[in-house]
Amino acid sequence: MSKVVVGVDGGGTKTHCSVIDYETQTLLGTGISSCSNQNSVGKEKAHQAIDAAIKSALENAKVDVSNVVGICLGISGVDRPDDVNTVKEWVKQIFGESFDVEKSALVYNDGVTAIASGTKGSLEDAMVIISGTGSICIGSKNEKEFVRTGGWGPKIGDQGNAWSIGNKILGSVARSVDGVGPFTELADAVKQHLKLKDLTELIPYIYASQEWTRVADLAPLATQLFETDKVAKEIIKSEVQSLRDLACGAGAKMCWAKDKPFTLVFCGSVLTHKDSVVAEELTRTLKTCFDNVNIVYPQVEPSMGAAQLVSNYLKKQ
């Protein structure tokens, strides 16, 4: 049996694993399990989710753990050296003591492997902007050198994402209803979207749950009204500016000159859905920061990108 490598993408809702041929990078099998963010479900359940996804993928690929020569894991919530060491211990338990985790295992935050999903497994002079419910920007010089901007979460001040757009929609609607802000079509759009009899029903709806998605789900209303409503347009342009700032900040941290050529991957629902106004506006404004940025979108699943990444990495050693 030929050698294989494994890629794992562990997010807040599911863990996805891809097994590919080491030489040809042909996809052999995949596996899916539950959330592996230890900050959300705890270390034991996170370990179990990673273990289940890997074993399922290997079974579907019809290969044994002894055929695995490398693994790359991008796991949500893995942000510190202790987190990386914990995941490496899990890998050792899955593959056995003979598997050299220091040479053959790469462990990152899932934002890093999101870069690989758009670059065929390369981290050389690349960056990713992820804008979904939350947002983060990660820049990489190679497999070992990274910078990060954003990703602080809504309570601290995440911007440039669906939650922030939705939150600004709610504030604008409230000010419009009170007569202390400009009229906006967003008020009626929110009322219809949530099937409210009166906009004062927003209060029990919003405060009934702390789930960020309840606010983030309103974001498409602003993009739909971008061309016709001044308030909606201002909200989108403000969020685009926030994403631009994250990218420019990451570029500055890496000491990249304005004319530095690099690849930038757009990820997350806000940027990747069809005809994204945010992606269009962001592409335009990024040119004020960078002269030679090549903007791309994910070409494969992040777990596949992670597998390609470790395959490329091992071949360079």
- CATH (domain of 280): 3.30.420.40
Domain assignment of residue 128, yes or no: no
104 and 183 housed in the same domain: no
200 and 261 housed in the same domain: yes
Domain assignment of residue 143, yes or no: no
279 and 166 housed in the same domain: yes
305 and 234 housed in the same domain: no
Cα 150–Cα 155–Cα 160 angle in degrees, nearest 5:
40
167 and 285 housed in the same domain: yes
The domain containing residue 103 runs over which residues? 4-120+299-316
Instruction: Determine the longest span between alpha carbons in the chain, in angstroms.
Output: 71
- First-residue to last-residue Cα distance in the chain: 22
Mean pLDDT of the chain: 94
256 and 304 housed in the same domain: no
Q: Which pLDDT score is estimated for 1?
A: 61
The answer to whether the CB of 91 falls within 8 A of the CB of 287 is no
69 and 115 housed in the same domain: yes
Q: Which pLDDT score is estimated for 90?
A: 95
The CB-side HSE value for 69 (13 A sphere, CA atoms) comes to 18
Per-position pLDDT tens, the chain of length 317: 689 999 999 987 899 999 999 999 999 999 999 989 888 889 999 999 999 999 999 999 999 999 999 999 999 888 889 999 999 999 999 999 889 999 999 999 999 999 999 999 999 999 999 999 889 999 999 998 999 999 888 888 889 999 999 999 999 999 999 999 999 999 999 999 999 999 999 999 999 988 888 999 999 999 999 999 999 999 999 999 999 999 999 999 999 999 999 999 999 999 999 899 999 999 999 988 999 999 999 999 999 999 999 999 999 98
Per residue in 200-223, pLDDT tens? Answer: 999 999 999 888 889 999 999 999
- Which residue, among 314, 310, 313, 219, has the nearest Cα to 8 in the 3D structure? 310
Nearest-10 crossing angle of helices 186-193, 162-178 = 110
Q: Which pLDDT score is estimated for 31?
A: 97
257 and 169 housed in the same domain: yes
Number of domains in the chain: 2
199 and 75 housed in the same domain: no
197 and 105 housed in the same domain: no
167 and 192 housed in the same domain: yes
**Long-range Cβ contact pairs of 178-184 (< 8 A, separation 24 or more):** 181/231, 182/230, 182/231, 184/229, 184/230, 184/231, 184/232
